[in-house]
Amino acid sequence: GEDVEQSLFLSVREGDSSVINCTYTDSSSTYLYWYKQEPGAGLQLLTYIFSNMDMKQDQRLTVLLNKKDKHLSLRIADTQTGDSAIYFCAETVSSQGNLIFGKGTKLSVKP
Amino acid sequence: NAGVTQTPKFRVLKTGQSMTLLCAQDMNHEYMYWYRQDPGMGLRLIHYSVGEGTTAKGEVPDGYNVSRLKKQNFLLGLESAAPSQTSVYFCASSWQAGADTGELFFGEGSRLTVL
C-alpha cells in the first residue's frame, strides 16, 4: 500500500541549514506537502509542490522533488529556534483528497 | 474566522464509557476527516466524509463511528472506550479534491485518555 517514510529526528545549530528528507510510494500524487506541527497544536501547511515541478522556493524554504526516485526534501535556510517543530511529509493518494502522512521529523534547533 | 474547532480539547474516560468528539468548520468545506496521532505513528486516518450525509472508513476505523448530518459538523463517536484509544485526535477539512491544492485545515486537537 501507500507509504511515506521520513527520519524521526534532526538536530541542527541555529543559523545552519536543515534538510528533512521524505520518500513516498504513490507516483500518481498530484501534490506533495510539508506540514508543520508546533507543540500542543494542530498541523499547518508549510508549503506544497505540484508533481510536475522539480523545485519550489519560498523565502527560507526550498522544496526539491525527484519523481524518478520518489524523493521529496525540505530545506530550511538559516534555521531559527522558532523552527523547532515536527515536520510531516504528506502525499495525496485518492480522489477523496485523503493524505497519507509520514511519521514526522522532529527538528530540534540548538542555540 | 474560527476555521476548524474541536470540542472538547481534553477528556479522561474510563474503559467502557462512551463519548463524542465534535468538529465544526466555518469554511464551507465539502470534505472532513478524523485522524489520530500517536507517538512514533504519525497521523492515521480514522474516518472521513466527502459531503453532508456521507461517511467512509479510513485506515483505522474499528471502535469508532462518525456522522455528518450537517455540512459544517463532523462527529466522532466512541461507543465503548478502550485504553488503546488513548490518543490525540485531529479533525481536518478541505474544500474539494481536484478543485484546489487539496490543503487540509486542522483543528487544534483533542487529547483523550482512557483509563
Residue B102: per-residue pLDDT: 77
Judge residue A12's burial from the number of C-beta atoms within 10 Å of its C-beta, 0-12 exposed, 13-18 middle, 19 or more buried.
middle
- Nearest Cα to B41, choosing from A3, A108, A20, A23? A3
Residue A94 has pLDDT above 90, yes or no: no
Q: Nearest-CA residue of chain A relative to B101?
A: A31
Distance CA B26, CA B106 (A): 12
Residue A97 has pLDDT above 70, yes or no: no
- Nearest Cα to A30, choosing from A57, A53, A4, A2? A53
pLDDT band with cut points at 50, 70 and 90 for residue B96: low
Distance CA B66, CA A26 (A): 28
- The letter for the amino acid at A79 is T
The per-residue pLDDT for range B52-82, each reduced to its tens digit, is: 999 999 999 999 999 999 999 999 999 999 9
Distance CA B50, CA B79 (A): 23
Residue B68 CA, chain-centre distance (Å), reads 11
A108 and A43 in contact (C-beta within 8 Å)?
no
Distance CA B65, CA B88 (A): 16
The per-residue pLDDT for range A56-80, each reduced to its tens digit, is: 999 999 999 999 999 999 999 999 9
The per-residue pLDDT for range B13-48, each reduced to its tens digit, is: 999 999 999 999 999 999 999 999 998 888 999 999
Residue A40: per-residue pLDDT: 87
Residue B39: per-residue pLDDT: 85
Is B60 an interface residue toward A (CB < 8 Å)? no
Is A53 an interface residue toward B (CB < 8 Å)? no
Interface size, chain A vs chain B, as Cβ–Cβ contacts under 8 Å: 59
pLDDT band with cut points at 50, 70 and 90 for residue B101: confident
Question: Using CB atoms, which residue from A30, A31, A42 is nearest to B106?
Answer: A42
A43 and A99 in contact (C-beta within 8 Å)?
no
